[in-house]
Structure 1
Amino acid sequence: MSRNHDNFADLITFTRASTATFVGSNGLIQSATTNIPRIDFDPVTNDRKGLLIEESRTNLFTYSEDFSDSDWTKFGSATVTASTVTTPDGGQSGFVLETSSTNRLEDTPSTAITGTATLSIFGKHNNVSFIVLQIIDSSANGQRQWFKIDDGTLGSSTAVGTGKNLSNASITDMGSGFYRLSMSVDGFSSQTGRCLIYLARTDSSFDASSGDAAIIYGAQLEQGSFPTSYIPTSGAAATRAADIATIATSAFGYNQDEGTFLAEASTFDGEGSSKIVFLASSSGAQSTDRFLLFFSSSEALKFEIETGNVQQANIVRGTGFLNSFKKMAAAYQENNAAFAITDLAASTDTSCTIPANTILTLGRFTGTNLSLNGHMKKFQYFPRRLSDTQLQEITR
């Protein structure tokens, strides 16, 4: 993250009022202390994803790893025993879950959810092919999803009762045979989420038999429409605070009259209306005078200029960029704004006035919970308005 001779990473004021986890360069989940940024890596390829920027979330489970605790009810023949298998954090924090038929492991956190609930857990194949996750409300209305943990593919889903929709399901390779399984169910109205974990031999069934087992680790229930980084708990629900990264424009030779921002970023938020890449504004004027670059609800990329509470430019490029890194170049000059992204040439606006900006915020809209919910791999600034041809070149 650099501009010529200056290193943006050294100029950033970074805050986060809690610890938070990320995947390190060794492919393992680790923890960053309060106010320390997280440089996240792919757990399988070890590719550097960049600065992880997320909104605040709470893991509602009080025991995310200790499945032997009484908070986790074992129905019928279901049992859990401590495992010696290395878990995604490099320790031995997992449990062997054994169940048969509709016997299961279950927990119902006491905090009510409104909107969408996302349930996730890390699972590894032992001798049974499927882990089945289910979220229902107190009236037994919800959704159920099968996850094939021997090859990392999604199985079937079915409704349980009425009134709840499965908005998202995913299975993510975490390396060493572990997958993170996630499902998001909407339609909650100040209701608790009852979370059930089954095993199965085949898709769309409850045909596990005595001795069938899988390794589980790191359960998380959060209010939100997609899973975020793992939040460990032990005895109480825990909250990860939002990531906030700011830079005073005076710190990096900002040119008020003209300039170009270059970013490479991605978002894993498929539901939010504005996933912020950067906001440039003056203190207290972020709603009226600003540059704003963000992923829209359709994962299009938008560059907006606002001056005196009047929109000066709104340039939109592409769509459907969920979980996809894109390079994006936003250039400004009076009556000469432009925006280019990977594989798409610059689009321009020739009627705009430029606001005076004093603060650059990465991945967040100040004073709101609007965040990138993704990764910033690169950020660069040029104190001049690059040509449209140059914008296309630097976004290749």
Structure 2
Amino acid sequence: MNPRSVVILGSTGSIGTTALELIGRNRDRFRVLALSAGGDNVGLLAEQALDFGVEVVAVAKATVAQDLQLAFYAEAQRKGYAQGEFRIPKILTGPDASSELAAMPCDVVLNGINGSVGLHATLAALDAGNTLALANKESLVIGGPIVTRRAKPGQIVAVDSEHSAIAQCLRGGSPDEVRKLLLTASGGPFLGKPRSELANVTVEQALEHPNFAMGPVVTINSATLVNKGLELIEAHLLFGIPMDRIDVVVHRQQAIHSMVEFTDGATIAQVGIPTMTVPIALALGWPDRIPDATRPWSFAEASTWTFQPVDDAEFPSVGLAREAGTRGGTAPAVFNAANEVCVQAFRDGRLPFTGIVDTVARVVTDHDVPSYEELSVDDVLAADAWARTRAREITGVQETHQA
């Protein structure tokens, strides 16, 4: 069996590093062709590129190209290569570099880019006919029908643990037998605390996720449950289930990653330890499983699983996302863009924790969703830019930067 060729976008983030660890243990199954990253950690990118012998690397920050080249030489020296014993990969730079990699002929593109900037890479991978292992949920949320129109059946494989779980559960029945999708949520670090106690939450406290080790933006989104709101919209788009048939349930232990309720009353759940390794492995090998990707949940040890509904007063973000997803058009893009600005403002100490969702709610309310004959990328990007400007006006933050 020839190894699957893989392009990894966002290779120095938590999704990318986990994927490369998995591939490193399964080099007979996968071959890494190219890697991309933002450019904040050129040392790690150079190490990854030489470890896997990739052909091309890309960085979004054009200013770090020389630093990356020097990092290649330093890494080669550290590995003990003599001059001429290694080949420096081709280096691409700029905001379109990841999209160039996504369009390369390959078996799978893993889009682990963080935020809405991943939209162009998602579309490039689909247009090239590559299987898209999608961890960049924002590109599907904001792109909506633009993305789903371009995707062939089965071309998008979800990497989010919840959507991977649903895809696995859906193997247990036909589409017309599905009554409801149930997304599970940990509740983040502030479950059970009234909003009145959260105004003075620090960034460090918001980053204390109870189960998963993730990047800062995703972790803060989990603390506000905005992440679950984005996942709700994503589930609707991925599986074609109406928004009112998708529920969110708080399951603190995160042993069950999500569930599907069928019309006969049966509910199928996917169980596993809290790790991204299994959904990443399944996305890279889809529809086949990768043996021993990680250890299974141990039923030989006593454990208790709890479930409770989402408290809308404590976590208004889920209802807000449902509203945006139901309105459709550019509303999900506005929801996501305003949140990205507010999360950065919170990380910079310029917005209180509760101000994140409060501001997003104001921006979504202020947005008048036009009627579109057919939503375009330009429509989405214009709404994204408007939402960022409006969020900065409300918060008084005039400058921001991409996380």
The answer to whether TM tops 0.5 is no
Q: Which has the higher strand share?
A: 1
Normalised TM-score (structure 1):
0.26
Normalised TM-score (structure 2):
0.26
Q: Which has the higher helix share?
A: 2
Kindly name which structure, 1 or 2, has the bigger radius of gyration based on alpha carbons: 1
Q: Which has the higher contact order (CA 8 A, sep 6+)?
A: 1
